[in-house]
Structure 1
Amino acid sequence: MQRRRLPLLLAAGPVAGAVAQPATDAALDEAVRRFAGLPGDTAALIDATGPKGRLRAAHRETAPVFVGSCLKTFILGAWLQEVEAGRLSLDEPLPVNDEVRSLVSPVLGGLTGTASARTALEAMISHSDNTATDMALRRIGAPRVRRLIAEMGLAGSTRLPDSTRIMFSTLAGAPPGTDLGWARVQALAEGQATGPMLPVINPHETMVSTAQDLCTWYGRALGGEVFAQPSSLAEFKRISSWADAMPRVAPADIMAYGKGGSIDWNGTQAIAVAGQMIAGPVRATFFWGANWPGEADSAPPVAERLAATLRAALARTIAALA
């Protein structure tokens, strides 16, 4: 796999193939400032190229933040690499039962039986289904996904849990690495913790990354450096385009590939989105993320501000570079 990949272009930024020093743009910088002005910890990055050159705007792009389901893109990427190697299939049936059932599973959470790996991966990305995520992780193994993260040079600041259910168990006070089982995890949703609750960013089980890491990933994955076969890249794009966050943050009628994530846990809120927009000859890799103390009712206005400022930033990018 490493033979197919180019070294990280740290000086050039995350957009694959970009070599010119980036310019700045007042309107783009203002969109970043509007988002960065939210309370709590925020991080943002846009790195874009087009016929008129390259633009870059950033805020705390190397700061670790809780990104939640944004990391599910690495599970999809690792699975497709295993399909290329002949070790996994998109058609193989995966069990759906209480052994893998997890909180926040709008597609597969109430079902029992089997679902194809393709269906699980689609549910994992399109609706952020955590049961689907744990089905995939149980089959491929978290160490395999972490290996992909390490091969991308991102292991120092991007951290994937063993499963979403183990992460919820750990956050609720279970010994690190413990899976409390479905019945007890269900009780967590009612506030029945098993011990002192951990913060969402902790040394044991978490979903943390940086703006720079996720932009690097999408720049390289969508730039053709991760997969050996065009069909794998096409499948990665197809499923990544289904993420429900993409139409919310991309300008109208513009294609975007990526994944969003969020959490509401013990007085902590987090929301993030990462991906790449392609508008004709303009390609923009992006990350917007915020972590803040607050209850669930504080999340909708932050989500709206995230979507509005990122959509404005991407629209400005197109206007400046096309």
Structure 2
Amino acid sequence: MQRRRLPLLLAAAPVAGALAQPAADPVLAEAMRDVAAMPGEAAALIEATGPKGRLRAAHRDTAPIFVGSCIKTFILAAWLQEVEAGRLSLDETLPVDDGVRSLISPVLGGVSGTVSARTALEAMISHSDNTATDIAMRRVGPARVRRLIAEMGLAGTRIPDSTRIMISTMAGAPPGTDLGWAGMRAIAAGDRLPGTPLPVINPHQTMVSTAQDLCTWYERALGGAVFAQASSLAEFKRISSWADAMPRVSLPDVMAYGKGGSIDWNSSQAVAVAGQMIDGPVRATFFWGANWPGEPDSAPAVIDRLAGTLRAALARAVAVLA
């Protein structure tokens, strides 16, 4: 979801012929110390390869983190797999109405009618549109997306049935309840909640993953291990490159694929970004994220600090490995 109110392992080494075992790098060590000093609970992981070897740096890479819209990458991939199987199409039309409308929908929030599946998937990734997300999730099915996650062995990753059901549950509705569009508007307006609010990481409906899970995912997905057809991988890359978080964390004029996410809920904040940057011969897969108690005005400084340390780590990977 986009932001709206609602011990260190280090590596880098030259190599001759084959990739060498990694050794510590002082720049990456400093980046991990900066992540560790973030408020609340933070996690980070960068794994990179290039002509001169490989590097790895991590902080709490297996810890559960609320990652918000980072999980939307799995919905996109599941849809493309269903296209390969002939059960779905990118050209089919999907209804947009109050039956599926959700909060934080900068593209489809005011739209009524139909859109193509391709448009919905693009809006879901490029602008993190939650109505687009719930349209796609309803059609492909949360069970299908969870099956993909399980097949990839991503045991630390959990997704909700929909963004609307997740918001309903966090607002105190019985688990699995959909309060509908009227309920979403009441929550956004600050009306009385239906029950005791739950934290963003809860046993029922959440968007949780780990740095290791998301880096493993992007290594496999972008490496060709998820799709049977080259055209599906090309479409996954095309849409994933549109995510608005990528230009903020990647190096200038360098291609990156991935997804970011964040939330402001009940005096708690979360921000995360995951993906892969490719700069010439260097391929760097990354996750940076933090969850902390605080009000919305605490978020910009944390986001800028996370983005700065990630960009520095990616620049170091290119400098060391190219």
Q: Report the TM-score range of the alignment, normalised by the length of the smaller protein.
A: over 0.9
Structure-2 residue corresponding to 1:81: 81
Shift of 1:40: 0.3
* Contact 1:53/1:321, CA 8 A, preserved across alignment: yes
Residue 238 of structure 2 aligns to a residue whose secondary structure is: helix
1:167-205 per-residue CA deviation (whole Å, 9 max, x = no partner) reads: 000000000000001011111112221100000000000
Structure-2 residue corresponding to 1:141: 141
In 2: Cα distance, 1:44 partner to 1:293 partner: 19
How many residue pairs match? The answer is 304
In 2: Cα distance, 1:104 partner to 1:98 partner: 14
Structure-1 residue corresponding to 2:12: none
In 2: Cα distance, 1:84 partner to 1:21 partner: 38
Structure-2 residue corresponding to 1:298: 298
Shift of 1:36: 2.3
Whether 1:161 aligns to 2:177 is no
Alignment of 1:1-322 (within 5 A): 20-154=20-154, 156-192=155-191, 193-322=193-322
In 1: Cα distance, 2:36 partner to 2:256 partner: 22
Aligned-partner residue type, residue 173 of structure 1: G
Shift of 1:25: 1.2
Shift of 1:29: 1.7
Shift of 1:293: 0.1
* Contact 1:241/1:258, CA 8 A, preserved across alignment: yes
In 2: Cα distance, 1:271 partner to 1:280 partner: 28
Aligned-partner residue type, residue 190 of structure 1: A
Q: Percent identity?
A: 79
Shift of 1:24: 2.6
Aligned-partner residue type, residue 169 of structure 1: S
* Contact 1:23/1:54, CA 8 A, preserved across alignment: no
In 1: Cα distance, 2:115 partner to 2:29 partner: 45
Taking only aligned residues, the RMSD between alpha carbons, in angstroms, comes to 1.0
Change (3 A) 1:249 1:204: same
* Contact 1:259/1:275, CA 8 A, preserved across alignment: yes
Structure 1 gaps, min length 5:
1-17
Shift of 1:35: 2.3
Residue 45 of structure 1 aligns to a residue whose secondary structure is: strand
Structure-2 residue corresponding to 1:10: none
Aligned-partner residue type, residue 41 of structure 2: D
Shift of 1:19: 6.6
Residue 263 of structure 2 aligns to a residue whose secondary structure is: strand
Structure 2 gaps, min length 5:
1-17
In 2: Cα distance, 1:237 partner to 1:186 partner: 34
More moved, 22-31 vs 42-51: 22-31
In 2: Cα distance, 1:122 partner to 1:307 partner: 23
In 2: Cα distance, 1:215 partner to 1:233 partner: 17
- Which contiguous aligned blocks of 4+ residues in structure 1 show a shift greater than 4 angstroms? none
